[in-house]
Amino acid sequence: MSMDVGDHVATAYLPACGVCTWCAQGMQYICDTAAGMENGFALDGSARAS
């Protein structure tokens, strides 16, 4: 499959902590530590907005 200028693409952001067992093995897509980041939580579990 080749891509040409002007082709549509889709991206997805999956948060990852970068230090857990899964991230260390290159499997950031199953990072449990950063799972709450998509809901606005920091890695320490605190909320970004109050």
pLDDT at residue 50 above 90? no
Nearest CA among 46, 49, 33, 47 for reference residue 15? 33
How many Cα atoms within 13 Å fall on the side-chain side of residue 27?
7
pLDDT at residue 48 above 70? no
Model confidence at 38, pLDDT cuts 50, 70, 90, reads low
Contact status, residue 20 vs residue 26, Cβ threshold 8 Å: no
In terms of pTM, does the model score above 0.75? no
What does 12-42 look like in DSSP terms, one character per residue? ------SSSHHHHTT-GGG-STTGGGGGTB-
Q: Using the 8-state DSSP alphabet, how is residue 47 labeled?
A: B
